[in-house]
Structure 1
Amino acid sequence: MQTAKTLKRRGAIIVVALLLTMNAKAQSDELQQLLLNIEKLTQFKAILSDMKQGYQIYQQGYGMVSNLSKGNFNLHNIYLTGLMAVNPAVRNNPRVGQIVGQQNALISEYKRYANLFRQSGTFKGNELVYFNNVYNQLVKQSNANIDELANVTTAGQLRMSDDDRLRAIDRIFTSSTEQLQFLRYFNRKAVMLSLQRSKDRNDTQTLKRLYGIN
């Protein structure tokens, strides 16, 4: 029969064994948790490394795109600035002087004939008003041509290539030529009408001298 002392000793041994078992299990759990934490930390470092690398790539890419964008803008700006300049070959185009000469001729001739028709005495007041309206319209169109020509041949006014400027000059020249031709046609017709209205030979000769006709 076991004594109380023996039972007490066995109980103590069991308690000690239980404590050792629990302690070993606790240490094992802590070790596993530590290993898990180490693994998570390693993964986290890898994630941070990937994020850093990705950010660097983004920064490099953004810088490259930004630089390219600025480069494109600078090239675009240079191109547009170049379009504002005028090549001397454009300014020295012979038709530029011809257009100016045609406008001077148009103004000079309309003033001369408007005065002659008033002096002839063969036209009524309303007819002279009609003549003036025709002349004023031609002068208005001619002035518009000169304004456009000035813009085309002056630096900083229009953004146009050399070819566009040359085409514009050709178009203005055609318009100016047609205006001057119409003026001269109109004046010839008016002169013929004035002569037809002369009452006799003396009147006809007087009108011819007035108009400078031999």
Structure 2
Amino acid sequence: MRTLKTYMLILPISAVTLFVSLPRGATAQLAIAEVIKAGIKKVIKAIDLKMQRLQNQTIWLQNAQKTLENQLSKLKLNEIADWTEKQRNLYGEYYEELWKVKAAISYYKRIKDLTERQVAIVDEYKWAWKLFQKDKHFTPDELLHMGQVYTGILEASVKNLDQVLLVVNSFKTQMSDAARLEIITEASRKMEENYTHLRQFNRQNSLLSIQRAKSVDEVATLKEIYGIDE
């Protein structure tokens, strides 16, 4: 069996890394998947809540900005003369805050898309791994190899998730938009890479099983199980 990419089995150091105490073997694979998926779902839920708060804040700021503009338009120029600078500063604060909120919403939407891709990675893994373990066409050594590849992909996905969480937490600390964008872009690239390699690896193994089938009926059954149309 050939692998599309070599995944180093290195444990990432982060708040969401819980793999050290997990058991080995097939049980460990499923346990890792559940831990990752549970963590990702929590992130998505948290992001949904953040987005809702940010959207509400955006509406409030937009209304405040509109109210301010209306007030300014109703006042006479001579009445504005004494406090123009003060109002300009106030308006500027509203505008700056509004810009920050809109930027944050844009980031959270992209982050949510990334975490949903992580969920797809876990789902793809679990679907294929359960089928391959029951498939009589694979030897124990081949299943062990699959498990090692899956472990590498899953651990790589955790590193990607760590980067996503870094961007989420960056709104509490000092980080430039350029730095956020760079992290999101790199995490997105790696997630898509992991997802593509995982699907290719699963398809490769599915086709291998079909090639080892002993009859036409068995081939048809395996194609249906693995969703192979050709």
TM-score, normalised via structure 1 length? 0.56
- The reply on whether 1:89 has 2:100 as its aligned counterpart is no
Partner Cα separation in structure 1 for residue 122 and residue 159 of structure 2: 14
Say if 1:130 and 1:144 are closer, same or farther in 2 by CA, change over 3 A: same
Code of the aligned partner of 1:180: Y
- Given the alignment, which residue of 163, 176, 182 partners 2:197? 182
How far does the alpha carbon of each residue in 1:60-109 deviate from its partner, in whole angstroms, 9 at most, with x for none? xxxxxxxxxxxxxxxxxxxxxxxxxx865245334312211111001001
1:153–1:165: 8 Å Cα contact kept in structure 2? Answer: no
Identity %: 32
Note closer, same or farther for the CA distance 1:117–1:189 as it changes in structure 2 (3 Å cut). Answer: same
RMSD: 1.9
Give the Å deviation of 1:127: 0.5
Q: Which segment is superposed worse, 112-121 or 89-98?
A: 89-98
- The equivalent position to 1:151 in structure 2, one of 144, 166, 177, is 166
Q: Which amino acid aligns with 2:155?
A: K
Q: Name the structure, 1 or 2, with higher relative contact order (CA <8 Å, separation 6+).
A: 2
Pick from 136, 140, 145: which aligns with 1:121? 136
Q: CA deviation at 1:211?
A: 1.3
Q: How many Å apart are 1:158 and its aligned residue?
A: 5.4
Q: 1:107 aligns with which of 122, 146, 151?
A: 122
State the shift of 1:122 in Å.
Answer: 0.8
Residue of structure 1 equivalent to 2:186: 171
Q: Residue by residue, what CA displacement relative to the aligned partner does 1:26-73 show, whole Å, maximum 9, x if unpaired?
A: xxxxxxxxxxxxxxxxxxxxxxxxxxxxxxxxxxxxxxxxxxxxxxxx
- Secondary structure of the residue aligned to 2:125 is helix
**Aligned pairs (5 A) from 1:1-214:** 89-90=103-104, 92-93=106-107, 94-155=109-170, 159-214=174-229
Aligned residue pairs total: 129
**Could you give the per-residue CA deviations for residues 166-196 of structure 1, whole angstroms, max 9, x where no partner exists?**
1111111111111101101111111111100
Letter in structure 1 aligned against 2:103: A
Q: In structure 2, what is the Cα distance between the partners aligned to 1:101 and 1:146?
A: 11
Structure 2 counterpart of 1:92, which letter?
A: S
- Secondary structure, aligned partner of 2:137: coil
Say if 1:190 and 1:161 are closer, same or farther in 2 by CA, change over 3 A: same
Distance 1:154 1:87, change over 3 A: farther
- TM-score, length-scaled by structure 2: 0.52
Change in 2 beyond 3 A, CA 1:151/1:88: farther
Q: Deviations over 1:130-151 (max 9, x none)?
A: 1111111111011111111111
The secondary structure found in structure 2 opposite 1:138 is helix
Gaps of 5+ in 2: 1-99
**Which secondary structure does the structure 2 equivalent of 1:92 belong to?**
helix
* Separation (CA, whole Å) in 1 of partners of 2:138 and 2:205: 9
C-alpha separation in 1, matches of 2:138 and 2:152: 20
Rg larger in structure: 1
Q: Which has the higher helix share?
A: 1
